[in-house]
């Protein structure tokens, strides 16, 4: 028997951090909410990180997810930009962890593969598949769409883990 699991997917960024909340029960997915937390690009780095922290903490408090999934950072040609993205990603992992949630990490190619079936694809393909998988889903921009895709990727991995545990339990009997 499956349990309803609420997942928050987080697409970290210093300027815009996307978030998406879904529920999964067995193989079914249900859209809950999505959005973007933004920081003031005229503010200093510490203030911007605080803005992301506070915005994500509000999302976690409002939607009460059971688990979180965060996209892994890719290496950029600009070391300074990569470092700043890494700091934003740290906030994206810290907030759900401080709320007591398990936090999973997924590479961008794994997210695309879970949603569109291949590890490389365009943003538009992700948007189209989100509408196929969850017809009631609404999202403003790529950041929120990517966050929903990250949550879906985590839901797919949960299903695989649950099935493996069931198989191991049956084998032990």
* Per-residue pLDDT tens digits for 2-61: 689 999 999 999 999 999 999 999 889 999 999 999 999 999 999 999 999 999 999 999
E strand spans, 39-122: 67-71, 103-106
143 among known catalytic residues:
yes
Check pLDDT > 50 for residue 168: no
| pLDDT, tens digit (0-9, with 9 covering 90-100), for 51-91 | 999 999 999 999 999 999 999 977 667 888 888 889 999 99
**Among 44, 54, 71, 105, the one annotated catalytic:** 71
Mean pLDDT taken over the chain? 89
pLDDT of residue 164: 43
Check pLDDT > 70 for residue 162: no
54 among known catalytic residues:
no
**Among 58, 67, 105, 143, the one annotated catalytic:** 143
**Among 11, 40, 78, 122, the one annotated catalytic:** 11
pLDDT of residue 173: 54
11 among known catalytic residues:
yes
104 and 68 in contact (C-beta within 8 Å)? yes
Distance CA 160, CA 156 (A): 6
CB count, 10 Å around CB of 4? 11
E strand spans, 85-155: 103-106
Radius of gyration of the chain (CA): 16
144 and 18 in contact (C-beta within 8 Å)? yes
């Amino acid at each position: 028997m499956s349990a309803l699991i609420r997942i928050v997917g987080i697409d970290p960024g210093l300027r815009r951090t996307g978030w998406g909340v879904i529920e999964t029960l067995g193989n079914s997915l249900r859209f809950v909410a999505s959005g973007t937390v933004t920081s003031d690009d005229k503010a200093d780095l510490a203030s911007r990180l605080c803005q992301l922290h506070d915005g994500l903490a509000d999302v976690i408090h409002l939607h009460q997810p059971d688990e979180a999934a965060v996209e892994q950072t890719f290496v950029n040609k600009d070391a300074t930009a990569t470092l700043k993205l890494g700091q934003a990603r740290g906030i994206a992992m810290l907030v759900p962890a401080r709320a007591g949630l398990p936090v999973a990490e997924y590479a961008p190619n794994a997210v695309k593969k879970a949603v569109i079936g291949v590890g490389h694809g365009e943003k538009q393909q992700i948007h189209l598949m989100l509408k196929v998988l969850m017809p009631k889903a609404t999202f403003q921009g790529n950041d929120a769409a990517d966050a929903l895709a990250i949550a879906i990727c985590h839901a797919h991995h949960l299903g695989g883990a649950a099935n493996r545990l069931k198989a191991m339990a049956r084998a032990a009997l």
